[in-house]
Structure 1
Amino acid sequence: MHWSLYLLIGIMVLLGIIAYYLRPILAAMGLHRHYTIPDFDLKGRRALVVCTNHNRLDPHNRDTGAFGSEFTVPYYAFINAGMDVDMASPKGGEIPIQPPSWSWPLSCEDDRRFMADKEAMAKLKNSKKISDLKPDDYDVIFMAGGWGAAYDLMQSEDLADFVTRANASGKILGSVCHGALGLCSAKGIDGEPLVKGRRVTGVTNDQINTFGIAVTPKHPEEELKKAGAIFECQHGWLDPFMTHTSIDGNLITGQNQNSGYETAHRILERMATQMNEVVR
């Protein structure tokens, strides 16, 4: 057998090994690490998942949008608990997906479940316009990230007004990664920035620089601190994989794409506690 054929076979075997083990390796490093959300019975409760409409990473003109697992993980955490879930965006209509978050090896099980779910995909293609909605129709408002969110969540006056009114009604407000920007223009009941003096997290400046997206107009760590938030996060030698969830009253926020499971879990936990308090 010619040596070149041996080489080709060796390369194919190596690629096969990489393909088989890459997902587990990334999970061990911290990407979508295994996390079991306990069972909750929250039938009759409603959640709104808010994503970006922006689909271009300026000035490079690369595709961007919402990061898959940052909305699919909480979406199914809420669905699995028996909740009704709507999807919305500042302008309504189609929510773009940040590549390659829905491709191998970055996609997670909930991403694949979502892509095969006709009802969920219809919500993604035809998201509700935030200005057409009423905060009192929902029990939790969750804002997903993705690089596109840096261009429109904080800049949307409609979203700021919606979150301000939701907070005044005591709704649970959640976010992960760049989704925290949706909190930055909202006001608390005292008229001060909603996040002022409160513990909140989002993607860090270090993580943004690691991914080479400092070109984006709004950075959660900077904007949260400007608004007076007590910014919490975790750092490590594998910094992009570090994760943290902050809880401060009705604000439950996750650091990045690896935080969706715990953040959704803590939201469900708080909702269940509220229900028990009402029963008593």
Structure 2
Amino acid sequence: MTPRILIVLTSHRLLGQTGRATGFHFEELATPYWAFRDAGFAVEIASIQGGAAPVDPGSHPGDPSRLPASVARFLGDQGAIDALATTAAIDTVQAEAFDGVFLPGGHGTMWDLPTNAALARLVGAIFDAGGAVGAVCHGPAGLVGARRADGRPIVEGRRVNSFTNAEEAAIGLTEAMPFLLETRLTELGGRFEGGPDFRAFAVRDGNLVTGQNPASAGAVAAHVVDIVRALGARAAA
């Protein structure tokens, strides 16, 4: 049976009180999307509210020559564009339909992913079932509310990573954030491991994979593919 991966995007459009637009980071969607598709997986895109998810304008340069290859490929694929324009609302999605979930970043995630009960239930259920849970950059904001069946945070006792406090300070958005993600994951019992600022860095602990920044999206996706393939191999044995 074809493995199925759910990608969940933010629906939040405003960067705090700055007056600036935000949303999801396009490369953090497109790179995993193609990694999963090229692995032969079926991919569904959902968002917190459903419908067209907002793109962080900083991740979508107007000059086509400056687009990351995965984003250019996404924008050139009508099926991918249609999927992005018609995302399912997260509260309509059933965890048991998927072998893994992936949470791209973008600063919008910091507002609507941590407090969404439907997302928390879905991520917790996939985690408890042994499915792959991947998140990159600010996407681990969607792990904040997720709990195991026994009520403990899924990050508790696990090696985790995300956009770091140092990186947030370097881009001047510390004060704009509702909280600092590295700090919150640590408060939840995560064993935070950070890499060099703005360099690719990913951490895998069991079926949980987290990455630090846009450059890390491919590494996180590769781990998710490995986890899902291993699940399939065990099921077939």
Q: TM-score range by the shorter chain?
A: over 0.9
CA distance in 1, matches of 2:200, 2:73: 23
Distance 1:106 1:176, change over 3 A: farther
State how many pairs are aligned: 234
**Equivalent residue in structure 1 for 2:36, among 65, 75, 78:** 78
Q: What is residue 193 of structure 2 aligned with on the other side? A: 232
1:224 shift after superposition:
0.4
**In the alignment, does 2:137 pair up with 1:177?**
yes
Q: Where do residues 35-50 of structure 1 align in structure 2 (5 Å cutoff)? A: 44-50=2-8
Of residues 53, 57, 66 in structure 2, which corresponds to 1:95? 53
Deviates more, 1:99-108 or 1:189-198: 99-108
CA distance in 2 between counterparts of 1:80 and 1:196 reads: 32
Q: Which amino acid in the other structure matches residue 195 of structure 1? A: V
Contact 1:92 1:127 in 2 (8 A): yes
Where 2:57 maps in the other structure, the secondary structure is coil
1:55 aligns with 2:55: no
Note the aligned Cα RMSD (angstroms). 1.4
- The one-letter code matched in structure 1 to 2:236 is V
- Partner SS, residue 108 of structure 2: helix
Q: Which amino acid aligns with 1:114?
A: F
Q: Helix, strand or coil for the counterpart of 2:177?
A: coil
CA distance in 2, matches of 1:276, 1:147: 36
Give the number of the structure whose alpha-carbon radius of gyration is greater.
1
Structure 1 residue ranges without an equivalent (≥5): 1-42
| Corresponding position of 1:261 | 218
Q: Percent identity?
A: 33
The answer on 1:242 being equivalent to 2:202 is no
Residue 157 (structure 1) aligned to one of 117, 125, 128: 117
TM-score (normalizing by structure 2): 0.94
1:113 aligns with 2:70: no
When normalised by structure 1's length, the TM-score is 0.80
Asked if 2 retains the 8 angstrom alpha-carbon contact of 1:246 and 1:254, the reply is yes
Question: In structure 2, how many angstroms separate the alpha carbons of the residues matched to 1:178 and 1:113?
Answer: 23
Q: Does 1:275 find its partner at 2:232?
A: yes
- Aligned residue number for residue 26 of structure 2: 68
SS at match of 1:75: helix
Unaligned runs of 5+ in 2: none
C-alpha distance in structure 1 between counterparts of 2:146 and 2:16, whole Å: 25
